[in-house]
A and B are shown apart, each in its own frame.
Chain A
Amino acid sequence: MRWFTDYEEEIKMALELAREAVKAYPSSLRETAETMLRRADPRHNRSNYVAYLLPLWLAKDERHAAAAIRLAGAHFLAALHFGLVDDMMDEPPAVWSGERRQLLLLSQLLQESFKAEYRRHFSSDSVVWEDLGRYTSEWAVAALNERARIADPRNVRQLAAKAAPVKLGASALLELRGEPEQRTAAERAVELTLATLQLADDWADWQDDLTQPEGNAFLSLVREHLPLQDQEAPWDARLVKRAVYHYGALDGLSRIADDLCARLSPLTGVSPMLIAYQRSICDGIRRDARAARAESDRLVLGGFHYHLHNFLKK
């Protein structure tokens, strides 16, 4: 995990900058923001690392290191903002409590702090602002369509769109580096990584998404792998487990992820850390698929043999 361990010091500094930014908020909102930042600390919690690390990976040399840390701090704030918006979309307004209203206000402050940091580095006519507008639109369209269409596990742009604002980290560093000619390739590279990440997230969240499976690409794949007689079966955990244990749905997910890794690694000019990060996601899904197969193979030898392993653990 060098894509993470090599940058722990920078992440610490970026988080500190994010904490500084929220100190000016009204006290109740500041406390909530500080709690959220503590939870977002990737050194302690499972996290969408790429959102914060991308600017750091693309800071080729010392000239841009300081700016990359500041922008990484801004991306912590952006991640909290978009996370709050996602949460609020998932909960209907009729049940909003006073706390929910506060979170809506906090979301606005976080967004403004994120943009304020970007304004320190980029003038109003910088292409970065156009990119921010474009990526925010992609994210909004993805959120709008999430329940309107079945998630396609092979559609890279659709998968990546859910996290489109993350791409701004690449756009920003290339602008600072004076390498606009790399923008298109970098955007494509980040999209391949975000698509891989989304597949992994959908695999992680499958149980939570059973009541609304349309937006979950792993569940789309589950349906593909089920036999004809199960195509109209209602969604429940057992159905998904059948698809995994009997019909190879998780192996299928792993193959798609590996294909995305195979498409990223040969691209020129891509940060080796981005490639390594994506590969770690693919490796993780592959290990999970292998573990599921091993579980099934152990059970084939008999229930007693299967449980002997657990009887001895105690």
Chain B
Amino acid sequence: MPMETLRAQIIKKAWTDAAFKQQLLSDPKKALKDEFDVDVPAAYTVTTVEETPTHYYLVIPPNPEDVANSNLSPNAVW
């Protein structure tokens, strides 16, 4: 499933399912596991925030050079 689709599904469910939204806010890892079978590893913390019509969040992601997956090596064979 494309990641953007899954993320959209999570948000849309929170929009329409008040109980899910509450759980997503209070215990995001459990909510994601129960509803979408997404396992967030113990090493990661996930915090859910809710915007309002007049209060928005601009999230600054970590720098790619600091992210664990960016091992930066060639895939080609020559």
Q: With A240-B72, A296-B64, A314-B39 given, can you name 19 additional A-B contacts, CB distance below 8 Å?
A: A46-B78, A48-B78, A237-B72, A241-B65, A280-B76, A284-B74, A285-B76, A287-B75, A288-B74, A288-B75, A288-B76, A291-B75, A299-B67, A303-B59, A308-B6, A309-B3, A311-B38, A312-B1, A312-B38
Residues in A neighbouring B41, C-beta threshold 8 A: 311
Q: Is the interface of B mostly helix, strand, loop or mixed?
A: loop
CB distance from A251 to the nearest CB of B (A): 13
A269 to B49, CA, bound (A): 65
A281 to B75, CA, bound (A): 11
Residues in A neighbouring B59, C-beta threshold 8 A: 302-303
Size category of the binding interface on chain B: 20 to 34
A204 to B78, CA, bound (A): 11
Report if B69 contacts A (CB, 8 A): yes
Report if A147 contacts B (CB, 8 A): no
A304 to B1, CA, bound (A): 16
On whether A49 and B6 interact (CB within 8 A), knowing A241-B65, A306-B67, A314-B39, the answer reads no
Report if B66 contacts A (CB, 8 A): yes
Would you list 16 pairs from A and B whose C-beta atoms are within 8 A, ordered by A residue? A48-B78, A200-B74, A204-B73, A204-B74, A241-B64, A244-B72, A245-B65, A246-B63, A246-B65, A284-B76, A285-B76, A299-B67, A302-B59, A303-B62, A307-B40, A311-B38
Report if A235 contacts B (CB, 8 A): no
Residues in A neighbouring B70, C-beta threshold 8 A: 241, 245, 295
On whether A299 and B3 interact (CB within 8 A), knowing A203-B74, A204-B73, A291-B75, the answer reads no
